[in-house]
Amino acid sequence: MINFLQKHLAMGRKSAQGLAKGSIYNALYFVSLMMPMSLVYYFLEDVLPHLKTEQEIVFRYASYVIIALVSLLLSGFFYYKQYTSVFVSTYEESEERRIRLAEKLRKLPLSFFSNKDLSDITNTMMEDINTLEGLQSHAIPQLVGAIISTLITTVGIIIWDWRMGLAVCWVMPVVLVVTLLSSRFQKKHIKAHFETKRQVSDQTQENIEHMADIHANNQTERYMKEYNALLKKEEDMHKISEMAMSIFVNGGQSLLKLGFATAVIVGTMLFEQGSLSLIKYLMYMVIAARIYDPVGSMVYNLSYLYYGSAPLERTLELEKNKEMTGQTDIEFDRFDIEFDNVSFEYLEDTPVLQNVSFTAKQGEITALIGPSGCGKSTASKLATRFYDPNEGSVKIGGHDLKNIDPETIMTQLSMVFQDVILFDDTVYENIKLGRKNATEEEVMEAARLAHCDEFVQSLPDGYQTIIGENGARLSGGERQRISIARALLKNTPILLLDEATASLDVENESKIQAGLSELIRGKTVLMIAHRMRTIEEADHIVGLTDGRVVEAGAPADLIRNPYSLYRKLRSLQLGE
């Protein structure tokens, strides 16, 4: 059972053990609830008629009251044990699962995220795990407990009197078989509902992120019309999925009432024939009134299992994705970046890089140039092992990145990309992210070199100002300067600059270039820039067109070639 729970519910072993124990305790709890009825029957049928003296009556009454109290205490004990076994382990499992999924996401290649929406992943991390939490804390223990206790009770009442036992129990397998056969129908509509919910979540996030563009282009009415139509679709799918569940849950509950009616009819006939005592008849009526409750619980929780199938499937799918792994004990004695016949494509049959070869040497600035879409940024992402090439190899210091753990690679790299990522924290903490053990003096020095002082002084709390989600309270240039300060603080042997100064004006760009010139001494620098004046100090230029290397050399050599890509781009931008 433990292995089954681990495999099919994506649970840890400890949580699976807690769930199994809780299910057994839940079954004992249900069984213990039937004990008082058995005591009442035994007292009325076998004991009370034989009592003679007052002392015997008092003693027997006291004995049965004590036994009844013990049974109630047992019920409370079993309930407490199943609660602590199930709920504590379930909440711990939810915490561990979220951490486990977060660790999983951290180790997945970027190709995974390019095929997934952020809201899709967020929903899996939050809403889907909440659904599984309810499944594990309520549905499964109740279902298992109800099955075990019902089987025990059913066997007992059939042995006691097979005629009344069959009259009471015949309807239960019928209801369960119908519910099991409905699984495909229920899952179909539940899955459709979840997919529509996911679309609503995606559309909501997209509308919020692009609100300014929507308003600027007078598309508010169109977007709201589409959004309202999607909400209406989700509402309709929700109703259909709820109806698909309620048909079988409520239908099963109604069908169980036939069992009670059958018990009344058969019991009355047997009583009139004299083959069933009044007390036994009444006891079966009480049993019939109680035994269908756990069966109804089975029907409901089976449907809840079907409801949880879609979130469980998405969670398992996420956990099965292949991680980027590699050696962690690599020691680098040099930091050249070498591309050896590298080919790469994001989409099948749509090449981005084709047979690209070049070397960015340690102690030199290597600049990648070319028109938009030629593969410059892709090359930088391959150098960080955000992706692995489809063919060829990318090496640092002679070591193939495919064989190195991504986190080990990150310890050797500092990056400033076009798309700056900041956190909803202070300016100081966003810079310190580059090196968490850095001193305050080191953080301030990096900020000074990146010219952050100039705008931080105008902020309400200086470096302790909260800058909003992804630096929403800052301009594009201010955000980029924080990103540069972070890279300066990290101070690694390799520096990747992808349009690092694209959001800065000419004056600030010149200042930061002066700061970067101090940083890059002795380092391997791979620089990507569209503005040719930012790479005038480069030692080596690699020109790309349509994902292929079309030229490579020193700026002074390339500028003398009248057909050079570098000369052409420089002429277009600077008018030379």
pTM of the predicted structure, to 2 decimals: 0.67
**Superfamily the domain 2-319 falls into:** ABC transporter type 1, transmembrane domain (1.20.1560.10)
pLDDT reported for residue 389 = 92
Q: Please list, in sequence order, all residues whose beta carbon lies within 8 angstroms of the beta carbon of residue 400, skipping any fewer than 6 positions away.
A: 393, 394
Give whichever of 23-27, 63-67, 253-257, 431-435 has the largest mean pLDDT. Answer: 431-435
The Cα–Cα gap between 121 and 112 comes to 11
**How many beta carbons lie within 10 A of that of residue 77, not counting itself?**
14
The H or E element spanning position 85 is none
240 and 193 Cβ atoms separated by less than 8 Å: yes
**How many beta carbons lie within 10 A of that of residue 264, not counting itself?**
15
DSSP assignments along 300-356, one per residue: HHHHHHHHTHHHHHHHHHHHTSPPP--BS----S---EEEEEEEEEEETTEEEEEEE
> Using DSSP, how many helices (H) and how many strands (E) does the chain show?
24, 10
- Please measure the distance between the N-terminal and C-terminal CA atoms of the chain and give it in whole angstroms: 77
Tell me: pLDDT of 31 over 60.
Answer: yes
For the segment 195-217, what is each residue's pLDDT rounded down to a tens digit?
Answer: 888 888 888 877 877 787 887 88
More confident residue, 459 or 520: 459
Q: Residue 356 — pLDDT band, cuts 50, 70, 90?
A: very high
Say if residue 162 is exposed, middle or buried (CB neighbours under 10 Å; 0-12, 13-18, 19+): exposed
Mean pLDDT of 122-146: 78
The Cα–Cα gap between 573 and 372 comes to 14
Strands 399-400 and 548-553: unpaired
More confident residue, 31 or 294: 294
For the segment 442-466, what is each residue's pLDDT rounded down to a tens digit?
Answer: 999 888 888 888 889 888 999 999 9
| Nearest residue to 100 via CA among 223, 15, 174, 203 | 15
3-state secondary structure 250-277: HHHHHHHHHHHHHHHHHHHHHHHHCCCC
pLDDT reported for residue 77 = 77
Q: Residue 509 — pLDDT band, cuts 50, 70, 90?
A: low
Tell me: pLDDT of 6 over 90.
Answer: no
How far from the centroid of its chain's Cα atoms is residue 151's Cα? Answer: 38
165 and 158 Cβ atoms separated by less than 8 Å: yes
The H or E element spanning position 548 is strand 548-553
Measured CA distances, 436 to 429, 430, 486 (Å)? 9, 10, 10
pLDDT reported for residue 50 = 57
The Cα–Cα gap between 367 and 531 comes to 11
Calculate what percentage of the chain has a pLDDT beyond 90. 14
Across the chain, mean pLDDT equals: 81
Strands 365-369 and 540-545: parallel
